Amino acid sequence: MKTIQLGSTSLEVSRIAYGCMGLGGSWERTVPVSEETKREAVQAIRTALDQGINFFDHADIYRWGKSEEAFAAIWSEVPKLREKIMVQSKCGIVMPGARPGSTVGQFDFSYEYITRSVEGSLKRLQTNYLDVLLLHRPDPLVEPEEVARAFDVLHASGKVRYFGVSNHTAGQLRLLKKHLQQPLVANQLELSLLHLHLFDEGVVFNQEAMHGEGTLEYCRQHQITIQAWGPLKSGAVITGEEDPPSPAAQNVAHLIAELAQAKGVSAEAIALAWLLRHPAKIQPITGTTKPERIRAACEADQVELTRDEWYRLFIAGRGNRMP
């Protein structure tokens, strides 16, 4: 698989990343990780590795930490693998009941929460360091100085090599960067043919009631890799079945199927190739645990869409012609 440079780092990462949220079994907190769950995780990870994926995305909340725990089973299966792959995790979301006083879901970018979360991830992943740590969702109560202190300590101790964010706007990035010593190397955002606001914003600015935040352009200007979560919109771009139903989903699925047949590849490959075609060098994150679907997604690495094909898909997703 082709690689891209992650942000301003020297890391050469696979163009497609593997999202590990599906690993670990049940979302029920009290259900432990079984041996069967670990075997399924190893099978999925091996498939991703066989396809050339070397970048694996986690979060401390995925399956209440069980995704990280299940992932750690790969170390005994593939010797010396840790030095060959990049492991990323995220922190900042506090699940209801996760700690005393947290009666509702909330976000926390305090020094204590960030550092404690990393310690937990390292323990569950059975590794000494994370290649990348992302702040998961913007905390309205963020104190950038606290984030900076946490990043400084984690970086100086060797526990985190690089830092980034998820679901942050350009303005939120600017606020953090003002206080940080380390560069922000990634911004993980929801992006697909059925969630294309990031692209559409620049098209409809001054046409509709949008503010023109310019997050896409800001990330490109400052060498912040955009990672696309939900690139298949939970399969809706393939099946055309969206809740609530939408003509755009059906049109996108129909056109993807047409292009997939013409090019002799999977539908997943067309949907991800649409993201890979963008000059921002977006890194889609595929999250399926089924080996056949992992292989289908990775076919995107070999697909080249023309400008006309890209725009046909864009217009189908927008549900409207270009202005």
Cα→Cα distances 220→36, 48, 206, 229, 296, Å: 42, 27, 22, 18, 28
Whole-number percent of the chain with pLDDT over 90:
92
Question: Does the annotation count 162 as an active-site position?
Answer: no
**C-beta separation of 319 from 195 below 8 A:** no
Cα→Cα distances 183→79, 150, 156, Å: 32, 14, 14
Helix/strand/coil for 105: coil
- Average pLDDT along the chain: 95
* pLDDT one-digit tens code per residue, 64-96: 999 999 999 999 999 999 999 999 999 999 999
pLDDT at 210 over 60: no
Domain that holds residue 108: 3-232+281-287
Average pLDDT over residues 188-210: 82
The answer to whether residue 312 sits within a structural domain is no
Catalytic residue among 62, 113, 129, 162: 62
Q: What is the domain count for the chain?
A: 1
The answer to whether residue 82 sits within a structural domain is yes
pTM of the entire structure?
0.96
Average pLDDT over residues 290-308: 98
Q: Determine the pLDDT at residue 271.
A: 98
Confidence of residue 207 (pLDDT cuts 50, 70, 90): low
The answer to whether residue 318 sits within a structural domain is no
Write down the number of H helices and E strands in the chain.
Answer: 13, 12
pLDDT at 169 over 70: yes
The answer to whether residue 221 sits within a structural domain is yes
Average pLDDT over residues 244-260: 96
**Residue 56 and residue 289: Cα distance in Å, rounded?**
13
Q: Determine the pLDDT at residue 102.
A: 82
What's 140's DSSP letter? T
Confidence of residue 206 (pLDDT cuts 50, 70, 90): low
Confidence of residue 205 (pLDDT cuts 50, 70, 90): low
The answer to whether residue 220 sits within a structural domain is yes
CATH number at residue 99: 3.20.20.100
The answer to whether residue 119 sits within a structural domain is yes
What's 130's DSSP letter? E
**Which residues are registered as beta bridge partners of 184?**
163
Confidence of residue 208 (pLDDT cuts 50, 70, 90): low
